[in-house]
Structure 1
């Protein structure tokens, strides 16, 4: 029951963390509809699951080193900024009259949205650091038991996903009020936000390591177990 309550609470909190995924999910729901946003969110969830598995099964000391590697922050930030810039430049060439609300109707479209969600979450190294911090903090209380840890993750990601569904449904209500001009404005804002978040990720590469004091003792204890 403790694992359930902790997992549900964490999942709800995660869903409202302000970041690139949060804004792009809302933008996708508004401009492309429910199923499109759902496909995007599935990709985000898969990236979280992959990061959690990597953090859990790999050497904690190795992951701790990787997650603070400035090169990864710079690389991830550049990728996110590049995507934002390309999206913005493409929108500058778009004629407002050609913009319309339309849901994807091809498997390829949904796969592209799925890949977009996965990559957008995966290039953010901070997500790996987050899951490692969760495992280091809560793992010892669960005796680093594989079943308990992955059950806890299932509770967390389920709460995250269900909360996202409500966010998608609420955002979808705005579709009826959107004009082509507003659609273009929303898409431009989401592109600019990607550029800003990319810059923030890059800046992290030049900041002093935070929380590095807690990683050695805890990881040593976990590895001994």
Structure 2
């Protein structure tokens, strides 16, 4: 039960729309499943790194230096806008889905860099992530996007358990395997799917980039 709860938690965190999934989608429809999987692996590797740092107590150091978070918002925002420009170029050049070589795949480096400068991801490991490591109880469904009070207490598991942590990362792994596969399958059926997804990815990255920049600026001033 605890391992299954970890899988649900990992899927719930990995699945919502955002900059990481935008890059995974772009890589999947333009370069095939392997490229999409590698992009997902970049984000997952960053989570593994944050997990190790949280285990060592290093991540908590970020909270001791208030200027760090605004700087991360600005860095993350600039990176997203830069990647959005690249996605626009990809959308213009993509006539249809292809799993052939369209140049070097940079999805892994993109998601890894964005994850390392993502205040939300760091914030998760400063709070919930640390809670996963400590012995106690976790109300899993209360952390789902759009979770309400009606879900409180429905799925409560013991934290600090190795099976919970294994399930958590297994859930993320399932997502980065299945999500690119679904996109590739759809892309092979509809030629217009690839440029449309690339364009949507550009919009998502640009939108989050502007939000991050605005948030960083507000925190500074």
Q: After TM superposition, is the score higher than 0.5?
A: yes
What is the match of residue 48 of structure 1? 47
TM-score by length of 1: 0.72
Deviation string 1:137-167 (CA, Å, 9 cap, x unpaired) is 3333259xxxx56664332111111133222
Answer 1 or 2: which has greater helix percent.
1
After TM superposition, the runs of 4+ consecutive aligned structure 1 residues lying more than 6 A away are none
Tell me, yes or no, if the aligned pair for 1:12 and 1:159 is still in contact at 8 Å.
yes
What is the match of residue 16 of structure 1? 15
Shift of 1:73: 1.0
Tell me, yes or no, if the aligned pair for 2:186 and 2:193 is still in contact at 8 Å.
no
Q: Secondary structure at the match of 2:17?
A: coil
Tell me, yes or no, if the aligned pair for 2:41 and 2:176 is still in contact at 8 Å.
no
Structure 1: runs of 5 or more not aligned: 209-225
Shift of 1:128: 1.1
Q: Secondary structure at the match of 2:97?
A: coil
What is the match of residue 203 of structure 2? 192
Shift of 1:206: 5.2
CA distance in 2, matches of 1:23, 1:43: 13
**Cα distance 1:65–1:32, how it changes in 2: closer, same or farther (>3 A)?**
same
Tell me, yes or no, if the aligned pair for 2:79 and 2:114 is still in contact at 8 Å.
no
What is the match of residue 70 of structure 1? 70
Shift of 1:91: 4.8
What is the match of residue 202 of structure 1? 213
TM-score by length of 2: 0.73
What is the match of residue 103 of structure 1? 99
CA distance in 1, matches of 2:193, 2:182: 17
CA distance in 1, matches of 2:63, 2:162: 20
Tell me, yes or no, if the aligned pair for 1:52 and 1:131 is still in contact at 8 Å.
yes
Tell me, yes or no, if the aligned pair for 2:76 and 2:114 is still in contact at 8 Å.
no
What is the match of residue 165 of structure 2? 153
Which of 133, 136, 140 pairs up with 2:130?
A: 136
Aligned length: 196
Shift of 1:104: 5.1
**Cα distance 1:91–1:37, how it changes in 2: closer, same or farther (>3 A)?**
closer
Shift of 1:6: 3.6
Tell me, yes or no, if the aligned pair for 2:7 and 2:168 is still in contact at 8 Å.
yes
Q: Secondary structure at the match of 2:99?
A: coil
